[in-house]
Amino acid sequence: MKKLVFSLAIVGLLFASCTSDDDETTPVVTPPVDSGELTGDVTVSKTLIKGNYTLEGVLKVKSGVTLTVDAGSVITANTASGSSFDAILVEKGGKIIMNGTAAEPIVCTHATKVAGSWGGIIIYGDAPIVGSKKVTSANSEDGITSSEGKAYTYGGSNATDNSGSLKFVRVEYAGKKIADGSSELNGFSFYAVGSGTVLENLVSYKGNDDGFEFYGGTVSAKNLISYGNADDSFDWQDGWRGQENTNWYAYQTGVGNYGMEIESKNEDNDFWPVISGITLKRAAGTVTEDNTPQYDAIQFKSRGNGFYSNILISGYTNPSATAVRIQDEGTNTSQVKANKIKLTDIKINDGTNPFAYKDATITVTFPEGFFVTSTTATGASITPGAWAVIDGVNLLNN
């Protein structure tokens, strides 16, 4: 079994003082220092002091263990060293505490600055899922195996399960395609993560797959930025049911598929996620992966559902695109007609079509009050800061 390796440099204490009592104290942000290498299994609870760390391979936080990372830390993956891929992975029963600040976010990146270079952050919890044929547990879809060579399973019975806290964390250039040749890793992957887990002020930047993906679970997320990810900005399945989601912002540029891909493994669930304050923007000239017709801002399929409000959509002007698409008759019959999909206060700019469906065999008519457009919706309202600035560019300016 691999071990966690830390080569920690001596860190000096820096002090800032005012010249007089009348001066206002300005917080001093000191750069992190080189603090060593991260690799293997974390088997004892540890705190990583603010520093620059190199990630070699998959860092696994084991069950019963808490890994804490100080604000301002930078973790740089380095697959060039010979590892098949790099990722930060929290096993079921483990916890990760990564609480940065607006001024000092925790940045997880790759040395090459190339999309698809590493695996991002992956968390396995113990909250409920509803998979295909109503299974309550399933093998993870990312193709990663445990130290024993077995596929990770997800799905449990603890709706309030706590896998830790991520605040002001940025993941850059993730979306690695792994050894099986078909599985790709997201910026953030949440498998059966419970509502006791805190997800706030997170950025997924220029990954090669989805920005954020939820595989079942009950966790909610606030203040999310998905920027320049090549597949979907936000994606979920397996009966994800987070109830307190607010302020989700997506900007698709270069290559990007759906703004939000919403599905539920064809299971007709009597619950759904709730999200308020959504902004979905697509830059001119953005194409889809392999030129597939996946241009829509929001797509519902396989009985995906949910209640969504205060939505701002712009830039989805391709002739094949629409603001909201109902992809199949099963979703139309069991979700739209059954009042399980609700979109209110929707502002659609740029002449994007309001909603559509796969083909002429489907006739979609939302119940009264369940699809309501607006001229005043504002979408996501997120406070900018250093946590949302990369190479001098404020991601929220778009």
Residue type at 386 in one-letter notation: A
Distance CA(64)–CA(70), nearest Å, equals 20
Task: Provide the pLDDT for residue 180.
Answer: 58
**C-alpha separations of 112 from 43, 172, 173, 174, 370 in Å:** 30, 11, 9, 11, 46
Q: What is the pLDDT of residues 368-386, one digit of tens each?
A: 999 999 999 999 999 999 9
Q: pLDDT higher for 290 or 259?
A: 259
Short-list 388, 323, 384, CA closest to 351: 323
Task: Provide the pLDDT for residue 43.
Answer: 97
How many structural domains comprise the chain? 1
Q: What is the pLDDT of residues 117-157, one digit of tens each?
A: 999 999 999 999 999 999 999 999 777 777 777 789 999 99
Task: Provide the pLDDT for residue 15.
Answer: 30
Helices (H), the chain: 329-331
Question: Is the per-residue pLDDT at 337 higher than 70?
Answer: yes
Q: What is the DSSP string of 343-361?
A: EEEEEE-TT--SEEESSTT
pTM for this model (two decimals): 0.91
* DSSP annotation of 336: I
Question: Is the per-residue pLDDT at 260 higher than 90?
Answer: yes
Q: What is the DSSP string of 64-92?
A: T-EEEE-TT-EEEE-GGGS-S--EEEE-T
Confidence at 361, pLDDT banded by 50, 70, 90? confident
**Residue 305 resides in a domain:** yes
Task: Provide the pLDDT for residue 179.
Answer: 62
290 three-class SS: helix
Short-list 349, 304, 342, 362, CA closest to 323: 349
Question: Is the per-residue pLDDT at 5 higher than 70?
Answer: no
Confidence at 79, pLDDT banded by 50, 70, 90? low
96 — phi, psi (to 5°)? -130, 130
**Residue 11 resides in a domain:** no
**Residue 4 resides in a domain:** no
Short-list 284, 304, 288, CA closest to 352: 284
Task: Provide the pLDDT for residue 141.
Answer: 79
**Residue 161 resides in a domain:** yes
Which tokens is 59 given?
């860092």
**Residue 44 resides in a domain:** yes
132 — phi, psi (to 5°)? -60, 135
**Residue 127 resides in a domain:** yes
* DSSP annotation of 4: -
Residue 244: give the domain boundaries: 33-397
Confidence at 11, pLDDT banded by 50, 70, 90? very low
What percent of the chain clears pLDDT 70, i.e. is strictly above it? 90
Cβ neighbours of residue 348 closer than 8 Å, sequence gap 6 or more: 313, 314, 323, 354, 373
Question: Is the per-residue pLDDT at 21 higher than 70?
Answer: no
Short-list 162, 152, 160, CA closest to 185: 152
198 and 97 in contact (C-beta within 8 Å)? no
Q: What is the pLDDT of residues 224-236, one digit of tens each?
A: 999 999 999 999 9
Q: What is the mean pLDDT of the chain?
A: 89
Q: What is the pLDDT of residues 168-226, one digit of tens each?
A: 999 999 999 876 556 789 999 999 999 999 999 999 999 999 999 999 999 999 999 99
**Residue 26 resides in a domain:** no
**Residue 13 resides in a domain:** no
Strand-pairing partners, residue 77, are 55, 110
**C-alpha separations of 127 from 160, 163, 305, 395 in Å:** 7, 10, 19, 32
110 three-class SS: strand
What percent of the chain clears pLDDT 90, i.e. is strictly above it? 76
